[in-house]
Structure 1
């Protein structure tokens, strides 16, 4: 293995992988279509996605993410239910943004941070409300400064 620096000056390690020719061809097509600079960048992104999914499955790993909802804003009481859920989970909900779309639809993006299992439960509670057309939780490594009680440094009496 050889150490090198990436464009940001971060240390990277060069590795070698083997794969069937047809899989390599599919990878090259995806690299071109998605605009990756290289196979390495594409493979790194895929590995990162899988590592995040693994952490998410671990459960109590504190992560940051978004809950993206598309819903019918004409369904009576739905916006209040969504707001109540956000208030109930005040430790996890950082912020939200909603955009009025055509045909009585609303796009809402909720920024969240907390244990992955809890974030999934919040996303499930929101996504299964009557009037929600689709909902999705997207998680990433926690990068928001500590705002969740589980990430805050212990306080000392002074």
Structure 2
């Protein structure tokens, strides 16, 4: 492991310490490493450094909205090559939560995830994409994926 030293103004250091306490980090170093990893991962995704990913798309919607449940299910069927599984939770009489797990090329997964969240009537959508390295399939099995190295 390589040691680096950084200097920040007092108010930023206090906010960082509050974040460390809130999130339960053992020390500043681990918190800083996570922030740096997240930033590097975000840059890699936005600049095409990762070709494949796994992702979760979570959203809440009112299942009484005109044909919305049907549109969401049809969209998932139309993208069956990306959809791994869907979890559907009835929150109350009107509202449902769905979490869709996706796998595939970053550009295709990202576009499909955006289209789900953008459906008229979908609220509180959240997309989380994790870049992976993909190995070729062998013996009729699905390809293996490996998380991108955390540097």
- TM-score, normalised by the number of residues in structure 1: 0.77
1:153 to 2:142 alignment: no
Give SS of 1:14's match: coil
**Residue correspondence of structure 1 range 60-99 to structure 2 within 5 A:** 61-99=51-89
After TM superposition, the runs of 4+ consecutive aligned structure 1 residues lying more than 4 A away are: none
Match of 1:49 in 2: 38
- TM-score, normalised by the number of residues in structure 2: 0.81
RMSD of equivalent CA atoms:
2.1
Residue by residue over 1:19-71, the C-alpha shift from the partner in whole angstroms, topping out at 9 and shown as x without a partner, is: 22221111001101111111111111111211221122124521111001111
Q: Give aligned pairs, total.
A: 138
Distance in 2 between the 1:54 and 1:30 partners? 22
1:16 Cα deviation from its structure 2 partner: 2.0
Q: Specify every segment of 5 or more residues in structure 2 that has no aligned partner in the other structure, as ranges.
A: 139-151
Match of 2:146 in 1: none
1:31 to 2:14 alignment: no
